[in-house]
Chain A
């Protein structure tokens, strides 16, 4: 609608329009297993306020969320649980690997810790840091929004490939 109330048109592709909606309404599922979870809470709270980016609706059920924020160490016994949670989320879904431990195992290069969650689930955006500052989370969130808008995430590529009738892969480094 124009400023004087007259009708104005905006032409776009339907896909872009849907992705525009998706990127501005990310519903995160907090998977905070250790100290990074505290920093994630800080980025949600008043000072940093993730609501500015439309990602404040935390959902603790994987069925209602589309952004999985893995914040913390994933020990090898937790890895199948994480995979389960990811599988239970409805497509399209996105994963943020929050902090050094989730991204690479961090300082815990031992038998009991998964060396990066990308060995278990496909990850769209990594946030380095131990723990990352809330600014890092917001930066990662904006990069993720860019990628969602372009349709350039694991989940969207998988859906697009399936729509073209191609055989899809799990997107994992180690399956």
Chain B
């Protein structure tokens, strides 16, 4: 059996609870943003537990600030911001935004396709917590976030070369530094 074959699953009772909510929300999104919504994927038809909405990179901040505040959506929690490297595919990267609504309560996932060297608008203006998550995505994948207040490496040593979670980074690409990580002196001042 091909391991990529979707396995039949009920996805708990998410579908019974939220299918109508999700369908009306996606209808509203496509009506409002039109061509900015590239593609939508609903559970069961695709191997996913929550709907996935692909958005054009230029429109992502507008769409996410809309779903954060609009009374029909109220996805007020940015539960995670991460990325995937789908290397043979083009565009290569997907930036993933996992949202959660406290009031419904349900989840929805937004994705942005990014090619090598292309940057994504920062989400720090909508959720402040996106700051470190975007730094981690930059550190691990080298995706740049336009307008980010402080886009530095967050996990790896500042002397590290390359971005280790890229598919073309060697798994055993060790880089051992004999001395502790140098600290930028300007960061020590208030």
- B188 within 8 Å of A by Cβ? no
- A84 within 8 Å of B by Cβ? yes
CA A112 to CA B164, docked complex, whole Å: 9
| A111-B179 contact in complex given A76-B157, A77-B156, C-beta closer than 8 Å | no
Q: Which residues of A contact B177 (CB under 8 A)?
A: 76, 79-80
| A111-B176 contact in complex given A77-B157, A77-B181, A80-B181, C-beta closer than 8 Å | no
* Contact of A111 (CB < 8 Å), options: B169, B178, B180: B169
Nearest B residue to A114 by beta-carbon distance? B176
Interface string of B10-50 (1 = CB under 8 A from A): 00000000000000000000000000000000000000000
- A109 within 8 Å of B by Cβ? yes
Q: B174 near A115 (CB under 8 angstroms)?
A: yes
- B105 within 8 Å of A by Cβ? no
Q: Which residues of B contact A79 (CB under 8 A)?
A: 176-177
A-B CB pair tally, cutoff 8 Å: 37
- A63 within 8 Å of B by Cβ? no
Nearest B residue to A120 by beta-carbon distance? B176
Q: A111 near B170 (CB under 8 angstroms)?
A: yes
- B172 within 8 Å of A by Cβ? yes
- B175 within 8 Å of A by Cβ? yes
- A119 within 8 Å of B by Cβ? yes
Binding site for B on A (CB under 8 A): 76-77, 79-81, 83-84, 109-112, 114-115, 119-120, 174
Of all A-B residue pairs in the complex, the 8 with the closest CB atoms, nearest first, are A80-B180, A111-B173, A111-B164, A80-B179, A76-B176, A111-B174, A79-B176, A77-B157
CA A110 to CA B173, docked complex, whole Å: 7
What distance in Å separates the Cβ of B51 from its nearest Cβ neighbour in chain A?
34
CA A105 to CA B182, docked complex, whole Å: 25
Nearest B residue to A115 by beta-carbon distance? B174
* Residues of B in contact with A, size category: 10 to 19
Q: Which residues of A contact B176 (CB under 8 A)?
A: 76, 79, 114, 119-120, 174
Binding site for A on B (CB under 8 A): 156-157, 164, 169-181
6 A-B interface contacts by CB (under 8 A): A76-B176, A110-B171, A111-B169, A111-B170, A111-B175, A174-B176
CA A112 to CA B181, docked complex, whole Å: 15
CA A84 to CA B179, docked complex, whole Å: 8
Q: Which residues of B contact A83 (CB under 8 A)?
A: 178
CA A2 to CA B151, docked complex, whole Å: 75
Nearest A residue to B170 by beta-carbon distance? A111
CA A59 to CA B178, docked complex, whole Å: 25
CA A45 to CA B49, docked complex, whole Å: 47
What distance in Å separates the Cβ of A144 from its nearest Cβ neighbour in chain B?
26
Nearest A residue to B162 by beta-carbon distance? A111
Nearest B residue to A83 by beta-carbon distance? B178
CA A126 to CA B170, docked complex, whole Å: 29
Q: B172 near A111 (CB under 8 angstroms)?
A: yes
* Contact of A109 (CB < 8 Å), options: B157, B172, B175, B179: B172
Nearest B residue to A113 by beta-carbon distance? B174
What distance in Å separates the Cβ of B133 from its nearest Cβ neighbour in chain A?
19
Q: A84 near B180 (CB under 8 angstroms)?
A: yes
CA A74 to CA B173, docked complex, whole Å: 16
Q: Which residues of A contact B174 (CB under 8 A)?
A: 76, 111, 114-115
